[in-house]
Structure 1
Amino acid sequence: MSDALTRFILVRHGRTEYNAQNRLQGRMDIPLAERGVRQAEAVAPVIAGMDPDVIVCSPLTRARQTARRIGRACGIDPVPDDRLMEIDVGRWGGLRVADLRREAPNLVAAREVGKDFRRPGGETGSEVMDRIAGAMEGLAAHHPGQTVVVVSHGFALRTGICRLLGGDYSASRGLGGLSNCSWTLLDRFSNEESRARGLATPWRLRAYNCQVAGD
């Protein structure tokens, strides 16, 4: 691949028990459930078939467990990066969405229509978008012309992608959610190539929320 193009393969971690229970995880260090392990093992050879050069991941256990399985299939050791962590939901960690509807109906209503706000004791959506977008730009600068696997989290990846494509937080819900162990392809043209092509943003979304058949 030419240095003019860096390809990203963005993978959401496998399923956890908190995913199954519709609980908010945020920075809580929840491991993969048995189904999540199977998902990671199933997606690993698919990612390996894309010939990645580098694997980076969130340091949270569910992401590291997913990345390790992908790494074994690729013959690459994943590198943890704190910038790739999930949104910090603060005091909401571990709560079910149904609990939040009772305890903070106004904030839940704002969340469901795409309005941004600070999670109690945690982050805003815009802060997460900027953090992930900054991490991706940094990785593109350090790995020009390579294929980079990023194993992270659903909210973080979805909002970060939206920011890189030029959207704000309210636009991020339009992308739709990312399934566990789905992969998304995002290309980053070099600044020179982007200018030559007259692009508004150097980032291009090639595929979104791809999944292994039968999961």
Structure 2
Amino acid sequence: METRIYLVRHGQIELKNEKTYIGQLDLPLSPEGIKQAQTLQEQFKPIPLDCAYSSPLCRCVETLDILLGGRSIPRFTIDALQEINMGDWDGKSFAEIKERYLERFEQRGRELDVFAPPAGESFVSLQQRVLPVFAEMVKENDAKSIVILTHAGVIRVILAKLFGLTIKEVFKWKIPYAGSLKLCYNQKNGKWICQNQ
């Protein structure tokens, strides 16, 4: 049997209408996010799963609780699966950062992979945090089927590594709230296949 990994983003969170930097701010699911997680539960009911991993942030834990719907499989909370650390920008709107720190706001746009907000981390740093843990999960679950319930940033740095993409390139992939990507490892050629893109 091939290794199958379902990378799943948490459901929608309670946010104002304006675009906001959300990193490790621990926000719960919105009512819409709960509905999205219930849809995930229906989608995953027929899928056999060996175990599940989750970011410790409550939006991921809540989504996984609903997705699994009481299934008795081993589940693990992994600190390294937390979203990128946005530091001093966490919870602040794009408009506020642009107004107060225009130069840094523009720099992040140009240098998305290496720019880190004050007291935060860059996507390169995030990748260095996530990839060793992801590799260990793959190794421990050879020929098994697992769910990894995490955040858009974490999913992007995993995809970039597996498919030889830059951080900027992987931002072209849409990863909606409660979106899931099925990754299968091809033993013959040693390559990953993403069945949703």
Normalised TM-score (structure 2): 0.90
Deviation string, structure 1 residues 84-109 (Cα, Å, up to 9, x no partner): 11000000111011112112223332
Tell me, in whole angstroms, the C-alpha distance in 1 between the residues paired with 2:50 and 2:137: 12
1:127 to 125, 128, 131: 125
Q: How does 1:34-183 map to 2 (within 5 A)?
A: 34-72=31-69, 74-76=71-73, 78-113=75-110, 115=112, 116-175=114-173, 177-183=174-180
Aligned to 1:174, the other structure's residue is in SS state: coil
Deviation string, structure 1 residues 45-67 (Cα, Å, up to 9, x no partner): 20232222111100000000001
Identity, in percent, stands at 22
- The offset of 1:20, in angstroms, is 5.1
How many residue pairs get aligned? The number is 196
Distance change in 2, residues 1:71/1:19 (3 Å): farther
1:203 is matched by which residue type in structure 2? W
- Runs of 4+ residues over 6 Å off in structure 1: none
Deviation string, structure 1 residues 167-206 (Cα, Å, up to 9, x no partner): 232322232x3111010111234xxx3xx52x5xx32222
- The offset of 1:73, in angstroms, is 5.5
1:164 is matched by which residue type in structure 2? L
Verify: 1:205 aligned to 2:189, yes or no. Answer: no
- The offset of 1:135, in angstroms, is 2.1
* Contact 1:71 1:78 survives alignment (8 Å): no
* Contact 1:18 1:30 survives alignment (8 Å): no
Tell me, in whole angstroms, the C-alpha distance in 2 between the residues paired with 1:107 and 1:205: 34
1:129 is matched by which residue type in structure 2? Q
